[in-house]
Amino acid sequence: MIILGIETSCDETAASVVANGRDILSHVVSSSLVHHKKYGGIIPEIASRKQLESIHTVVDEALKTARKKISQLDGVAVTASPGLIGSLLVGISFAQGLAYSHNIPLVKVDHIMAHIYANFLVFQRTSGRPQTPELPAVGLIVSGGHTNLFFIKNFRSIELIGQTRDDAAGETYDKVSRILGLGYPGGPAIDRLAQQGKNTEFTFPCAQLPGSYDFSFSGIKTAIYYLAHHHKDHHNKLPVKKIAYSFQKSVVDVLVKKTIDACQRKKARTILVGGGVAANSELRRRLLQAGQDQGIKVFFPDLRLCIDNASMIAGLGFHIIQQQTI
C-alpha cells in the first residue's frame, strides 16, 4: 500500500511517499527557518505564506523521487492537528483537493502520535533491517511545543499519562538560548556548549511534581534569567558553557527519570522517543544507558525523522486507512 504524506504543522513544508507503513520511498522537507531566525521564533504568517509557495513543488518532488504517479497512490495522509492554524490549512486544503480530484482516500493524522510512529520507519537504503519496536510501550514526545508521556498498548489505544504544565522542553531550550545570547533555534547550540562545560558551582533543578508524570520547566528558565541579570548588573562575564551544561543536565535528568518510572509502573519494556529534542545527544546517551540498566529497549528515530516530517504522517496514515477498510 502506497501512501503520500503531507505535513505543514509549523514552519516545514514536507511530503513523503511510504510503502506499507514502513519503507520510506521519498522524504522531502522544505524549511522556512531562515526567515524566522531574526525574530527569535516562528512567525505564523511567514510560515503559512512560505508553505503556500512551496507545497506543490515539495509534493511533486516527493512523487518523482519515489517514482510514483498520483494514480498509484492508495491514500493521502495529512497532518490535521496540533499546529499553527494557517499552516495546517495549507496542508489540509492541498491534500483534500488532491485526494478529491483523483478519488483517493484521505485520512487526517495527529501530529504528536505520528512522532511516536517515526520509530517504526526505515529509509529505503538503510543497511540491514532495523528491529521493529514491540508494544506495549511508553512514548516520550519532546519538542518545541510539546512534552508528553503516553502509554501505548497499540495504535488504537494510546493513553496520555503525563505532560508539561507550562513550557515544553524544546521551548525552554529556545528561551534559555535567548537569555544566553545563543540565538534561535536554541537546542543545537545548548547541546554543543553543554558538551564543552562542567558545572559544580550552581545547579538548576527542575520541579519534580511528585506523584505525577507531569513536567514543569518554567522554573529553571526563570532561575537562569535571574542569574544572567545578576552577572550583568555586577559586570561579570556570564559562564555560558557551565550554565548550558547544568541546564541540560537538569532537563535530561527529569525526562529520563519520569520515562523510566512510567515504564516500570506500566510494566512496559519498550520506550519510543520522538520530536525535535529527540535529536539531543545527551538525552539519547542517558536514556539509552538507563534503558540498558533496567532491561528496557529504547528507540530513537533516525535524526532526519526527529524534525517535523511527512514520512511519519504517511506511516501512521497507512494504519488508519487499513482500519477504515477492515
Domain shared by 182 and 246, yes or no: yes
Position 128 in a domain? no
d(CA 174, CA 221): 10
Pair 16, 307: CB distance under 8 Å: no
Phi-psi region of 40 (alpha: psi -120 to 50; beta: other; left: phi over 0): left
SS3 144: coil
184: DSSP letter: S
Residue 12 pairs in a beta bridge with: 31
Position 166 in a domain? yes
d(CA 287, CA 297): 10
Task: Residue count of the chain, please give it.
Answer: 326
Q: Supply 177's cell numbers.
A: 538560548
| Tally of CB atoms within 10 A around 294 | 13
At position 60, the amino acid (one-letter code) is: D
Domain shared by 172 and 294, yes or no: yes
At position 159, the amino acid (one-letter code) is: E
Half-sphere exposure of 100 (CA within 13 A, CB side): 6
Domain shared by 225 and 247, yes or no: yes
d(CA 187, CA 289): 21
* Residue pLDDT tens, the chain, 326 long: 999 999 999 999 999 999 999 999 999 999 888 888 888 888 989 999 999 999 999 999 999 999 999 999 999 999 999 999 999 999 999 999 999 999 999 999 999 999 999 999 999 766 666 788 999 999 999 998 899 999 999 877 889 999 999 999 999 999 999 999 998 889 999 999 998 877 777 788 888 899 999 999 999 999 999 999 888 876 678 888 999 999 999 999 999 999 999 999 999 999 999 999 999 999 999 999 999 999 999 999 999 999 999 999 999 999 999 887 65
Which structural domain range is residue 98 located in?
Answer: 2-121+305-325
Position 238 in a domain? yes
Domain shared by 146 and 269, yes or no: yes
The total domain count for the chain is 2
Domain shared by 241 and 317, yes or no: no
Domain shared by 110 and 227, yes or no: no
User: Looking at residue 15, which CATH number applies to its domain?
Assistant: 3.30.420.40
Q: Residue 4: enclosing H or E segment and its boundaries?
A: strand 2-7
Peptide bond between residue 130 and the one before it cis (omega within 30 degrees of 0): no
